[in-house]
Structure 1
Amino acid sequence: MSETTHGVTTGAVARRLGVSPTTVRSWEQRYGIGPAVRASGRHRRWMPGDIALLEEMCRLTATGVPPAEAARVVLGQQPGDPRGGGAPPGTGPAADDGPPLGDVRRECRGLARAAVRLDAAAMEALLGQVIADHGVVAAWEEVMVPTLHAVGRTWESSDDRYVEVEHLLSWHVSTALRRAAMAGAGAVEGPPVLLACVPAEAHTLPLEALAAVLAERGLPFRMFGGAVPAEALDAAVRRSGPAVVVLWSQARSTASHALARHVAGTSFGLRGARTTPLVLLAGPGWAGPPPGDGLLRPGGLREALQVIAAVYEDPGHGSGS
């Protein structure tokens, strides 16, 4: 179905713009910014010209212009005029689409716009919807990561103007991933995948993404989070008897190969049937010489998932000793 001839629904246009459907309906009810043509029945269909007006509303409100004033500008009104004439679609200032995103899913653009406006409700709705529609892997690789990188590049090149945007966006990404992870946490018995950042590493989002993917695939896991002390990591391995341990390091300064080798050599279980875990060195901090025995360095989320799934497909998972 062509958007040009048939239009899109309110929900679809809201996701594209990074606002909630309630916001779109509010702008229509309060300021008259609505579809020029209505489909039969109660359903609204937004045509390209209608969407152009909404994009301009988003651009103006993102810069701090009050919605009522933004609506007057969008509709070509002067202050005090009850309605005024509508400006031809697409003739206003160029829309500020937020940070540059490249050729990625439309959800990226909507999420970036919502982040720039500090619209928490819209970010929560968008992130939940993209996970539901596309799954965790696609949501992480094609929407969350590109948007986070774009926002990060923007504040780095704009005198830190977008620091608050990146912090809020990161928090909502983390919330969405944890919500997805908790939906399946504890539902599966058996030796878990242990997820932990090395002691000096606090960057947890990639591990949270992996936890959400494992929950989505029905694989057991234990998430220990950021900066796990070496002694605590050792105790966690011995107590939980994991099939796989994933250690995240974002930078070479935080990677500890000695700790990774220690974990890979830790045995547990009954005498005569003791096992050791497979250790995955995840993150750019582990770049360098090939890892030793019992250690693997996956190239990304998908490869880590493939390795872990293969371990659980093998009835005798656990490397043995």
Structure 2
Amino acid sequence: MDREPQTPPPPQTPPRTPHPPRTPTRSAPRPAAALSTGAVARRLGVSPTTLRSWERRYAIGPAHREAGRHRRWTPQDIARLELMCRLTADGVPPAEAARAALGGAPSAPRAGAAVPPQAPGGPDALPLGAVRPECRGLSRAAVRLDAPTVAELLEAALAEDGLVTAWEEVIAPTLHAVGRKWATAGERYVEVEHLLSWQISAALHRLRPLPEPPGSAPVLLACVPGEQHSLPIEALSAALGRRGVPVRMFGAALPAEALHDAVRRTGPRAVVLWAQSRTTADPALARSVAGIEWGLRGARARPALLLAGPGWGAQAQGPRTERLYGLRSGLAVIESLAPPPAATPAAGAAPFACGS
């Protein structure tokens, strides 16, 4: 009996050697950023001298120091300092606050994690919202009535950011927070607002203006009669001076008659009138200032009138009248104005008399 031919078995594929499972590679944790003493001081609202004094007296300083290097503060170091600042702002003596901060050492954030800025704690906290750390530091110093530190922080902000940015991002938010706190706390915190306002005014006055171009028509700045809030136009005056724009600044509550005389005597390219509230804004005064003329017949000149501040309504606008909104945009409007044609001031008046 014949056998059927056998079909050869299919070739077998050699078994594959299994590869070991891949372990996902992880990048090495990035070290948390360390800050200089100056940066920490601005963030917390204390002076660098105070930080060095705390380290010397209470041993609350950087946990690690490298020989020949400046102090570098880690997020854990800063967290301890923030706790100490909150305690001292609530009236706890510094020595006791330091013991609490060191004893209840806060856990270090994970490597590479940003440390969110913390608001000053306790009932004296200002309603700041999302702001720069320098703003929180300034508010802490103001609440403590720490005038030297307020002055130092203002000077640092103006030097590093310039007047316009420092005003928009540090100074104005702190002022608004103090105002909101005062509005919700009755008569409390008036002393904080006064101290902060005084220090801001002093810092603005320390900014030296550039020399005025000879023969240039000035910009006249004044608060309307009865208006005592002059800080915003003090900032405008300082910013114009830093740009070499001639300014005649008359400050708070300039009487109407004096305002008219000042316009006729100085022959300004523009008059800026500040009104903080509807009760002080005077549309009739604005219209009368816009209509002031000076110079000889046939060559009369008028100023541009710029209304600044939240007190002005739409009814105050008229010919050659414009609203200013904010420091930066206000500067742009003023710098775009061409000076009025040369004209002789009113008879018997001293030309270009300097205001206060």
SS in 1 for 2:229: coil
Per residue, is there more helix in 1 or in 2?
1
Pairs within 5 Å for 1:190-269: 190-269=216-295
Corresponding residue for residue 285 of structure 1: 311
Deviation (angstroms), 1:294: 1.4
Aligned partner (choices 71, 79, 89) of residue 62 of structure 1:
89
1:122 aligns with 2:140: no
Aligned partner (choices 106, 114, 131) of residue 133 of structure 2:
106
User: For 1:284-320, what per-residue CA distance to the aligned partner results, in whole angstroms no more than 9, with x for missing partners?
Assistant: 1111236111111122222221111101xx4xx2279
User: For 1:46-65, what per-residue CA distance to the aligned partner results, in whole angstroms no more than 9, with x for missing partners?
Assistant: 00000011111111111222
Letter in 2 for 1:43: H
Deviation (angstroms), 1:231: 1.0
Corresponding residue for residue 302 of structure 1: 328
Aligned residues: 303
* Residues 123, 186 of structure 1: alpha-carbon distance in 2 compared, 3 angstrom cutoff: same
In structure 2, how many angstroms separate the alpha carbons of the residues matched to 1:248 and 1:290? 12
Deviation (angstroms), 1:4: 5.3
Q: Residue 4 of structure 1 contacts residue 48 of structure 1 at CA under 8 Å; is this kept in 2?
A: no
Is 244-253 or 21-30 further displaced after alignment?
244-253
Aligned partner (choices 14, 25, 43) of residue 52 of structure 2:
25
1:36 aligns with 2:60: no
Corresponding residue for residue 318 of structure 1: 340
In structure 1, how many angstroms separate the alpha carbons of the residues matched to 2:49 and 2:265? 48
Corresponding residue for residue 184 of structure 1: 209
Corresponding residue for residue 79 of structure 1: none
User: For 1:81-124, what per-residue CA distance to the aligned partner results, in whole angstroms no more than 9, with x for missing partners?
Assistant: xxxxx734479xx8735312122222111001111111111110
* Residues 319, 258 of structure 1: alpha-carbon distance in 2 compared, 3 angstrom cutoff: farther
Corresponding residue for residue 81 of structure 1: none
* Residues 227, 273 of structure 1: alpha-carbon distance in 2 compared, 3 angstrom cutoff: same
Q: Residue 50 of structure 1 contacts residue 89 of structure 1 at CA under 8 Å; is this kept in 2?
A: no
Q: Residue 284 of structure 2 contacts residue 316 of structure 2 at CA under 8 Å; is this kept in 1?
A: no
Letter in 2 for 1:68: A
In structure 2, how many angstroms separate the alpha carbons of the residues matched to 1:38 and 1:192? 55
Deviation (angstroms), 1:159: 4.2
Is 270-279 or 106-115 further displaced after alignment?
270-279
Q: Residue 196 of structure 1 contacts residue 247 of structure 1 at CA under 8 Å; is this kept in 2?
A: yes
Deviation (angstroms), 1:12: 0.5
Q: Residue 268 of structure 1 contacts residue 274 of structure 1 at CA under 8 Å; is this kept in 2?
A: yes
Letter in 2 for 1:101: L
Q: Percent identity?
A: 60
In structure 2, how many angstroms separate the alpha carbons of the residues matched to 1:68 and 1:296? 56
With normalisation by structure 2, the TM-score equals 0.79
Corresponding residue for residue 174 of structure 1: 201
Q: Residue 210 of structure 2 contacts residue 243 of structure 2 at CA under 8 Å; is this kept in 1?
A: no
Corresponding residue for residue 19 of structure 2: none
Corresponding residue for residue 26 of structure 2: none
With normalisation by structure 1, the TM-score equals 0.87
In structure 2, how many angstroms separate the alpha carbons of the residues matched to 1:6 and 1:69? 29
Alignment gaps of 5+ in structure 2: 1-28, 110-117, 344-356
In structure 1, how many angstroms separate the alpha carbons of the residues matched to 2:313 and 2:66? 56
In structure 2, how many angstroms separate the alpha carbons of the residues matched to 1:232 and 1:320? 23
1:87 aligns with 2:105: yes
SS in 2 for 1:280: strand
Letter in 1 for 2:157: V
Q: Residue 210 of structure 2 contacts residue 242 of structure 2 at CA under 8 Å; is this kept in 1?
A: no
Q: Residue 277 of structure 1 contacts residue 319 of structure 1 at CA under 8 Å; is this kept in 2?
A: no
* Residues 308, 251 of structure 1: alpha-carbon distance in 2 compared, 3 angstrom cutoff: same
In structure 2, how many angstroms separate the alpha carbons of the residues matched to 1:96 and 1:282? 33
In structure 2, how many angstroms separate the alpha carbons of the residues matched to 1:240 and 1:95? 47
Q: Residue 53 of structure 1 contacts residue 89 of structure 1 at CA under 8 Å; is this kept in 2?
A: no
Q: Residue 55 of structure 1 contacts residue 95 of structure 1 at CA under 8 Å; is this kept in 2?
A: no
Aligned partner (choices 125, 143, 163) of residue 136 of structure 1:
163
SS in 2 for 1:284: coil
